[in-house]
Amino acid sequence: MTTFQSSYLELEPRELVRFVLREAGQIDNDAVNPAELLDYLKLAYISFDFARELPPEIRQRVSSGQPRALISFGDRLVATDSSLSEPKSRFSVLHEIGHYLLPHHQHTLYVCDDLGMSAWTRLAFEQEANAFAAELLFQGERFSLEANSHPVTAAAVKQLAEKYKASFEATARRLVEKNFRPCMLVVFKQDSGRQVVDPNAAQSWTVKYCVSSPSFKLRFFDRVSGSIPAPLLARVAVPGRDIADSVVEKVQVGAATGGEARRVNAEFFWNTYNVFALLTPEAPDAQG
């Protein structure tokens, strides 16, 4: 039996995803099984503590972030850091499979860090591997069809994340990116700066990044800035609160680039690391 060689196939990444999912017997599964993809591709897999056991010569290849996953082409080996959560481990393995299968990525060794595997990386190869991993994780077009048959709500994010065994954040992002309806996801992060020197300082959560559906971008804006008002934050960021247990408010938001502020429906929820807001037009039918 020959070894899979993607360079023999002149396929677009999307077609390559479908091909691999089908050949590895994953096309009918709800959640893709990374172990079966690795078996199909004849890649070995190990998990170990990168902080303690990553060889120094490999660590040197990472510039600023925390190394989280690697693929060694010569050894046919994928490894991930054992401190990663289950959804992050799954995503990291799929990301390394992306490096393995994408035709121009075939180097000897990739060591990928948390920054490269984040949604806001500017490194082209990391963006491509992330996009490929998301296509595998969400079964290509299948998730897109589902995204459009569900309401744009925290409850839908939770249901789809459980079905595809993906993180809430990756699922929320995909739900918005693949939506035909106008909607936006705003991800807030906690500012640590002031509280380091002033334990009495109020918590402040500001916009980390935004993702908008194509029609939201067209009709409204693609980026907002600012922070969550403290009273609202106190209602959303409650320890033990379920991700689907959200707070719905009408809020006034303006584009990060300025211009007219718009009133929108905002559903706030949190996963203990980030606060999220799903924005939808206040009255979709009234706005042409």
Query: Under the rule (CB under 5 A), what is the footprint of Zn ion?
Result: 112, 126, 129
Q: Other C-beta atoms within 10 Å of 190: how many?
A: 16
Nearer of residues 130 and 139 to Zn ion, judged by Cβ: 130
| Closest separation in Å from C-beta 79 to Zn ion | 12
Both structure tokens of 272 = 């203990």
| Closest separation in Å from C-beta 166 to Zn ion | 18
| Closest separation in Å from C-beta 95 to Zn ion | 5
Both structure tokens of 257 = 């680039």
Residue 262's Cα: distance from chain center in Å?
Answer: 27
Nearer of residues 70 and 264 to Zn ion, judged by Cβ: 70
Type of residue numbered 243: I
Contacts of 34 (CB under 8 A, 6+ apart): 90, 93, 94, 97
Name which of 233, 207, 9 is nearest 101 in CA terms.
9
Nearer of residues 109 and 243 to Zn ion, judged by Cβ: 109
Helices (H), 152-210: 154-164, 168-177, 193-197
Name which of 45, 104, 52 is nearest 70 in CA terms.
45
Nearer of residues 124 and 196 to Zn ion, judged by Cβ: 124
Nearer of residues 79 and 236 to Zn ion, judged by Cβ: 79
| Closest separation in Å from C-beta 71 to Zn ion | 8
Nearer of residues 63 and 252 to Zn ion, judged by Cβ: 63
Report CA-CA distances (Å) from 6 to 19, 88, 101, 103: 10, 25, 6, 6
| Closest separation in Å from C-beta 59 to Zn ion | 15
Name which of 242, 241, 272, 266 is nearest 252 in CA terms.
266
| Closest separation in Å from C-beta 67 to Zn ion | 10
DSSP lists the bridge partners of residue 217 as none
Nearer of residues 80 and 179 to Zn ion, judged by Cβ: 80
Type of residue numbered 149: S
Type of residue numbered 281: P
| Closest separation in Å from C-beta 198 to Zn ion | 38
Nearer of residues 126 and 267 to Zn ion, judged by Cβ: 126
| Closest separation in Å from C-beta 130 to Zn ion | 8
d(CA 254, CA 197): 31
Name which of 135, 278, 124, 140 is nearest 211 in CA terms.
278
C-beta nearest to Zn ion: residue: 112
